[in-house]
Structures are given as C-alpha cells and as structure tokens.
Amino acid sequence: MYETMEVYPSSWMFYLFFIFLTAFAFLNMVMGRVLNVLDEEHQQALAEDEDHVDINDVVLELHELKATLARVESLLPNARSQ
C-alpha cells in the first residue's frame, strides 16, 4: 500500500473503499447465515408446536362432550319408561 501511495498519492481512497466493501460483503454473508439458522429454528419450533394440543381446544372439546353426555342422559329415562 505504501509503495503504491508513493507513485499514486490518492490510492488510499482505493484501499479504503476496498476495505469497506470487503467488510460489508463479509458482514452480509455472516448475517445471511445467522438469519438462515434462525429461520430454520423457527420452522422447527413451529413444527414442534403443531404436536402440542392447545388448552383452549381441550376445554372446548370437554364442553362438547359434557353437552353430548347431558343429551344422552336426558334420553335414557325416556327410553327406560317405554
């Protein structure tokens, strides 16, 4: 660098530009890889969450079962009396 600056005094601009450009490219690659890994982890977490049952769904199903049981119980005395 110092040898070229003796011949071309404004060559420091090229070196500065080159350093910033390569730093930006390297940072961009690193951030791309980090975001890719985070996206893969997020997709894996979503897939695992699909296996778990939501408590609200369980409560709703329980209420439906209670209502069905109540209807069946209300029909039983009528069936016995006939």
How is 26-77 classified by DSSP, letter by letter?
A: HHHHHHHHHHHHHHHHHHHHHHHHHHSPPHHHHHHHHHHHHHHHHHHHHHHH
Q: In this structure, are 42 and 20 located in the same domain?
A: yes
Q: In this structure, are 3 and 21 located in the same domain?
A: yes
- For residues 6 and 48, which has the higher predicted lDDT (pLDDT)? 6
Q: In this structure, are 40 and 14 located in the same domain?
A: yes
Q: In this structure, are 58 and 47 located in the same domain?
A: no
Q: In this structure, are 32 and 60 located in the same domain?
A: no
Q: Structural domain of residue 77, as residue ranges?
A: 53-82
Grade residue 24 by pLDDT with cuts at 50, 70 and 90. Answer: very high
Judged against a pLDDT cut of 70, whether residue 79 lies above it is answered with no
Q: What is the pLDDT of residues 33-74, one digit of tens each?
A: 999 999 999 998 888 776 677 788 889 999 999 999 999 888
> How many domains, in total, are found in the chain?
2
Q: In this structure, are 61 and 44 located in the same domain?
A: no
